[in-house]
Amino acid sequence: MAEAKDDGVMAEAQVAQPLGRWPILSYGVGHMLNDITSACWFTYLLLFLQQIGLAPRDAAVVMLSGQVADGLMTILAGEMIDRFGRFKLWHIGGSVLVGVSFSSVFGGCLLCTILGTDSYLVRTVGYSFFAAVFNIGWAATQVSHMSMVNCMTLNPTSRVALASCRNAFTMVANLGLYAIALGVFGVIKAKECSDIVLQYRWIAYLSIFLGCCFLVVFHIGTKEPTLKSESNCKKNARISWGYWFKKTLYYQVALLYMLARLITNVSQSLIAFYVTRDLRMNEYSKATIPAIIFCCSFVVSIVLQEIKWNSRRLKSLLTVGATLWVISGVAVFVLPSQMHNLMYPLAMVIGVANALLMVTTVGLESALVGEDLNGCAFVYGSLSFLDKISCGIALFVLESYEDTMSCGETRGLNTVSRYGTGLIPSCFALLSLVVTSTLRLQDAATPTAAALEAPLLV
């Protein structure tokens, strides 16, 4: 009996050891397909649908249908993974759905081709259906990938390193997407609707190919963790939902994660409209400005991997990121078109703020889960559910006002793209500052607190 106990302690100690660079690197690239398609989705979907003839409200319906499906799937995927595990199986299944449906959305109206009609209603329904399928696959991949973190290691520093590495490759994916878009926009000139469809079809195909290359690296280099392993989980019984609902920290982290995703996704979805319509910049700006944002985010994410971490620093950097967004959001909102060159330094500040928000909020998710591993997928799934539903509703409401706010001589500051890219994210960031001030994170008294002082990558 004593020997069995000693074996358990040794196994736990081994799992708590910091991860090496290769496991962190191979894990970090596992979300690349999701990230590169998501970058295209949030940056260009509304623009693409409106350019091919859909009204702003109907384009928002397509986006909303995907977000609702995504939100519901995150809950289902989280529950199923908590029950049965099999992270990598869910990951590959979701990736297949992502690749097939994404090419069907940006490759043209597949339902129109099947039914032999190009009616407005069929187009709206067809794009909405494949948007839902895309987001179902995206959610399955996301939840399985994020919930792997806590079952790969018990070391808190390595957990933050995994989240930071994942965020860094999110930036790589976004930069890859904008490099592809910039090249396609330069080669294929959009003179008519068929040219626009051709542009985005090539962007979709090249994005899927690039994402699949990294998908192979992930599945080769990352071992399947299991929720049933004695060495990885102290509790074999699945943790009920009510356990999390009794924690104040759950609601604080959920709100902060939702606000961080609202800030990044809403601003990203409308920035292409903002730079081309409000600032009257050239067509290339809808690729270069987002690229600058994500390039700066990538650099900051790399730096965050190499610093020492503790709960105070996690909270402090979240505060810094939110403060930067309050300032830059207001500046974006009031920026006149005659001074559009100032958007370049503003994009750099936004990139830094985005990285700080996303790395710290995902780090807070991991801190919330702690060693309660048999409920980790529910935590990531439920928080993603809030993120997806809130983003879908926010974009639908904004786009519903597009026609009334952007007409005639009244454009000025009163545009959806100005509100969505600047003022509204700034308000969300202000609210996140308030919530952050209420956080009470204590790790000094825990046995694993010392591990937070180690470098993120060892």
301-351 tens-digit pLDDT: 778 766 766 778 888 899 999 999 999 999 999 998 888 899 999 999 999
Indicate the domain borders of the chain.
17-223+237-403+411-440
Question: Of 34-43, 97-106, 182-191, 334-343, where does mean pLDDT reach its minimum?
Answer: 182-191
Q: Is the pTM above the cut of 0.85?
A: no
363 versus 349: the higher-pLDDT residue is: 349
Separation of alpha carbons 62 and 111, rounded Å: 14
- The band of 9, judged by pLDDT with boundaries at 50, 70 and 90, is very low
Residue type, 101: S
Count of beta carbons in the 10 Å neighbourhood of residue 115? 13
Selection from 45, 71, 106 nearest residue 393 by Cα: 71
Q: How confident is the model at residue 256, as a pLDDT?
A: 92
User: CB burial class (10 A; 0-12, 13-18, 19+) of residue 220?
Assistant: exposed
| CATH 2.60.40.2250 for domain 17-223+237-403+411-440 | no
Residue 215, CA distances (Å) to 31, 144, 151, 344, 457 in order: 8, 14, 20, 32, 22
Which backbone phi and psi does 455 adopt, to 5 degrees? -60, 150
